[in-house]
Amino acid sequence: MESMRVHSVKIPHQCAVCSKVFSCRSHLNRHHTVHTGEKPFHCPVCQKGFNDNYSLKIHQRIHTGEKPYQCSECLKDFIDKSSLKQHQRIHMEEKPFQCLVCQKSFKRSSYLNIHMRVHTGDKPYHCSVCQKNFTFKSLLKQHQRVHTGEKPYQCSECLKKFNYEFSLKEHQRVHTGEKPFQCLVCQKSFKRSCHLKIHMRVHTGEKLYQCPACPKKFSIKCSLVKHMRTHTGEKPYQCSECSKAFSKHYVLVDHMSVHTGHKPYKCSECQKGFSSKGKLVLHMKVHTGEKPYSCAVCSKSFSRKLSLEKHSKIHSREPPYRCSRCLKSFLHKTNLVNHMKTHIQETITSNV
Note whether residue 129 is domain-resident.
no
pLDDT for the residue numbered 100: 92
User: Cα separation of 269 and 172, whole Å?
Assistant: 38
The last residue of one of the domains, among 86, 119, 148, is: 86
The last residue of one of the domains, among 36, 58, 86, is: 86
- C-alpha distances out from residue 226 to 17, 194, 229, Å: 66, 20, 6
Lowest mean pLDDT across 14-18, 22-26, 269-273: 22-26
User: Cα separation of 161 and 145, whole Å?
Assistant: 12
- Where residue 333 sits, what CATH number does that domain have? 3.30.160.60
Residue 130: name the closest of 142, 112, 144 by CA: 144
Average pLDDT over residues 78-96: 79
Average pLDDT over residues 146-155: 88
Contacts with 277 (C-beta within 8 Å, 6 or more apart), sequence order: 265
pLDDT for the residue numbered 133: 92
User: Cα separation of 77 and 120, whole Å?
Assistant: 34
Q: Which domain holds residue 38?
A: 13-86
Note whether residue 337 is domain-resident.
yes
Note whether residue 40 is domain-resident.
yes
pLDDT for the residue numbered 352: 56
Query: In this model, does residue 5 exceed pLDDT 80?
Result: no
Contacts with 241 (C-beta within 8 Å, 6 or more apart), sequence order: 256, 259
Note whether residue 114 is domain-resident.
no
Q: Average per-residue pLDDT in the chain?
A: 83
Q: Are 51 and 38 in contact (CB under 8 A)?
A: yes
Lowest mean pLDDT across 86-90, 280-284, 337-341: 86-90
pLDDT for the residue numbered 316: 66
The last residue of one of the domains, among 86, 119, 151, is: 86
Note whether residue 176 is domain-resident.
no
What pLDDT digit, counting tens, does each position of 221-253 carry?
Answer: 888 998 898 888 899 999 998 989 988 888 888
Question: In the chain, how many domains are there?
Answer: 2
Percent of the chain with pLDDT over 90: 7
Residue 177: name the closest of 194, 191, 156, 195 by CA: 191
Contacts with 335 (C-beta within 8 Å, 6 or more apart), sequence order: 321
User: Cα separation of 301 and 292, whole Å?
Assistant: 7
Query: In this model, does residue 11 exceed pLDDT 50?
Result: yes
Lowest mean pLDDT across 36-40, 111-115, 141-145, 202-206: 36-40
Note whether residue 42 is domain-resident.
yes
Task: Provide the 10 A C-beta neighbour count for residue 293.
Answer: 16
Identify the helix (H) or strand (E) that includes residue 321. Answer: strand 321-322
pLDDT for the residue numbered 6: 45
> Where do the H-state alpha helices sit in the chain?
2-8, 25-36, 53-64, 81-88, 109-115, 117-120, 137-148, 165-176, 193-204, 221-232, 249-260, 277-288, 305-312, 333-351
Give 221's strand partners: none
Residue 13: name the closest of 28, 2, 1, 34 by CA: 28
Note whether residue 158 is domain-resident.
no
Please name the amino acid found at residue 160.
K
pLDDT for the residue numbered 245: 92
- C-alpha distances out from residue 37 to 31, 50, 150, Å: 10, 10, 21
C-alpha dihedral (73, 74, 78, 82), degrees to nearest 10: -30
How wide is the angle at C-alpha 82 spanned by C-alphas 76 and 84, nearest 5°? 15
What pLDDT digit, counting tens, does each position of 19-41 carry?
Answer: 888 778 877 777 777 777 778 88
Q: Are 252 and 244 in contact (CB under 8 A)?
A: no
pLDDT for the residue numbered 127: 93
C-alpha distance across the termini of the chain, in Å? 146
Note whether residue 319 is domain-resident.
yes
